[in-house]
Chains A and B, each alone.
Chain A
Amino acid sequence: MSKYVIETKQLTKNYGEQTAVNAVNIHVEKGRIYGLLGRNGAGKTTIMKMILGLTPVTSGEVDVFGQNIKGREKRVYPRIGAIIETPGFYPNLTGTENLEIFAKLRGTAAPNAVKNALGIVGLPYRDKKLFSKYSLGMKQRLGIANAILHDPELLILDEPTNGLDPIGIAEVRGFIKALSTERGKTILISSHILSEIALLADDIGIIDHGVLLEENSMEVLEEKNSKYILLQVSDIPKTSLVLERQFGVTDYSVQDDHFLRIYNTSLDMAAVNKALVVQDVAVISSQLCNDTLEDYFKKITGGEGIA
């Protein structure tokens, strides 16, 4: 048994000439929230569709719950809840009626599952409003309610906060987090909004033009989201000594022969400079650097506009 709930191996999808997903290996660990981040058209939805077997895989493999999904869909689906793009429902029925149909089709849902699910997403139970009269945010919430109706172990949510207002986004984020921490659900979520993923996910996969550029835990990525003073000096060992002996600075790192990063940004740089000059170390430059995750993503996706 692998420790991953979802694992893709060289997953590839071609639409005619165009390669929408290119040799993607993602690893979603049990009980964690995995955020798939990418710009419009990056291939997030396509990956999720392939994981669910909703669209044929061109090449590669999808393992769900430790085994290849091919041929096991019927047994695996009851353990998964998903929304893909905008969820569809019967427009001429109310939200509750719609969910009751889905609950009946699933057959396994608990008797008050519909009420619970609506409660979680904050929609009224037995409301008279027809689905066609729902606002975009309400539709999206109903979609999430449908995904969690049968209390699945794994949730696959494609842009679940699409169309929600900021308060709604915070609410949805709140209960997605709760589903993960309180009920131990594994969640794969996609978004093109960096801040949203950053607040929610434990692991992040960044995808651009169908290629997975980076996959890492949030902690590792957070390190790249840091403020530091970049110091360019003529002599690194001497500088280290000065920093440690005279200023008690230990959280710094040596980048190469001439560059050094000091993470304590409140350090009195004037005093440091003076002390270094006294020690005969030339300070070539000193600057305050502030790398944000956003900058980082811009850098690795090679462009503007993520976030």
Chain B
Amino acid sequence: MQFYKWTAFSYTPWVILPVVLGVVSTMLMYDEHQNDMLKQLWIIPVSRAGYFFSKFTIVLFYSICFMLLTAAASVFFGTLPGYITVEWGSIVYLLRKCVEIAILTAFSVLPLLTVAASGKSYIFPVCVTLVYTFLGFILLMVNMYLHPLSSMTAIVMRDIPGVVLTQKLNIPAAFICIAIWCTGSALFAVSSLGKRK
């Protein structure tokens, strides 16, 4: 159990996954922007919201795949040297937790997709990704319910055994925080895609 925690729950969800997803978001938005394809898409017509959410679906899918691979890898490398015996219960728990993290993180990085959607540049969204992830980390200590990533942490932490928390968890507040950020950024993204010159 301790081992899984170390592998799957250590840096992967809080740092690596958001950064990876931020970069994926940027890349997803890059092609159409860079090749000036949007004007052709809008007159098909493709709806702005449909376009944005199809991109988000890919991010979500990618996130789940990434976390499942992480889970598989930690089980594999855990059993290989015979450190631990495989217990079904813990594997199922691990998978469930990984999928949970994957979905929540995908939603938490929706603002990054918005940033990528509203500009042509490539460097800017990547920088924002780093700052955003870092801020999530810092705000974790201050107030968990300001930043989607720290809210996500709060939700995930609620039932990991052996984690001692300094703050009392407020799960609804965390969900509300994520929901507000997601709605806000989705609206902003759709409107900024709409008023393209």
Do A and B come from the same complex? yes
Binding site for B on A (CB under 8 A): 49, 52-56, 73-74, 77-78, 80, 82, 84-91, 102, 105-106, 146
Contact of A74 among B36, B37, B45, B195 (CB under 8 A): B45
Ordered by A's residue number, 24 sampled pairs between the chains whose C-beta atoms are within 8 Å are A54-B39, A55-B196, A55-B197, A56-B195, A73-B45, A74-B47, A77-B44, A77-B45, A78-B45, A80-B43, A82-B43, A84-B39, A84-B40, A85-B36, A88-B36, A88-B37, A88-B40, A89-B37, A90-B35, A90-B37, A91-B35, A102-B40, A105-B44, A106-B44
Residues of B whose CB lies within 8 Å of any CB of A are 31-32, 35-37, 39-47, 195-197
Report whether over half of chain B's contact residues are helix, strand or loop; otherwise say mixed.
loop
A105 touches B37 (CB 8 A): no
* Contacts between chains A and B (CB distance < 8 A), count: 43
- Is the Cβ of A54 less than 8 Å from the Cβ of B43? yes
- Nearest CB on A from B50, distance (A): 10
In the bound complex, CA of A199 to CA of B47 (Å): 38
Cβ–Cβ contact A87 & B40, under 8 A:
yes
Is B42 a contact partner of A54 (Cβ separation < 8 A)? yes
CA of A97 to CA of B115 in the docked complex: distance in angstroms?
29
Q: Are A77 and B35 in contact (CB under 8 A)?
A: no
Residues of B within 8 A of A146 (CB): 40
Chain A nearest CB from B192 CB (Å) reads 14
Shortest beta-carbon distance from B26 to chain A in Å = 17
Interface contact A90-B31, CB-CB below 8 Å: yes
A86: which of B31, B36, B44 is its contact (CB, 8 Å)? B36
**Alpha-carbon gap, A87 to B37, bound state (A):** 7
Closest 6 CB pairs of A and B: A88-B35, A88-B36, A88-B37, A77-B45, A105-B44, A77-B43
Shortest Cβ gap from A14 to chain B (Å): 12
Taking A55-B197, A90-B35, A90-B37 as known contacts, 5 extra A-B pairs with beta carbons closer than 8 A to each other, sorted by chain A number, are: A53-B43, A78-B45, A88-B37, A102-B40, A106-B44
CB-CB nearest in chain A for B50: A105
On chain B, the residues within 8 Å of A53 by CB distance are 43
* Chain B positions within 8 Å of A56 at CB level: 195
Which residues from B are CB-within-8-Å of A86?
A: 36
**A82–B196 alpha-carbon span in the complex (Å):** 18
Taking CB atoms, residues of chain B closer than 8 Å to A77 are: 43-45
> B194: nearest residue on chain A (CB-CB)?
A56
Q: How far is the CB of A92 from chain B (nearest CB, A)?
A: 8
What distance in Å separates the Cβ of B45 from its nearest Cβ neighbour in chain A?
Answer: 4
C-alpha spacing A91/B37, complex, angstroms:
11
| Cα distance A74–B46 in the bound complex, in angstroms | 9
Contacts A55-B197, A56-B195 hold; do A105 and B39 have CB atoms under 8 A apart?
no
Q: Which residues of B contact A52 (CB under 8 A)?
A: 43
- Measured between C-beta atoms, what is the minimum distance from A187 to chain B in Å? 16
Q: List, in ascending order, chain B residues with CB within 8 A of A105's CB.
A: 41, 44, 46
Q: Are A102 and B44 in contact, CB atoms less than 8 angstroms apart?
A: yes
Q: Which A residues are CB-close (under 8 A) to B196?
A: 54-55
A80 proximity list for chain B (CB < 8 A): 43
Q: How far is the CA of A106 from the CA of B35 in the complex (A)?
A: 19
Q: CA A293 – CA B67 in complex, angstroms?
A: 69
Q: Distance (Å) between the CB of B55 and the closest chain A CB?
A: 14
- Residues in B whose Cβ lies below 8 Å from that of A78: 45
Beyond A73-B45, A74-B45, A105-B44, is A89–B35 a contact (Cβ under 8 Å)? yes
Q: Which residues of A contact B47 (CB under 8 A)?
A: 74
CA distance A87 to B36 in the complex (A): 7
Query: CA–CA, A82 to B42, complex, Å?
Result: 11
Expressed in whole angstroms, the minimum distance between the Cβ of B195 and any Cβ of chain A is: 7
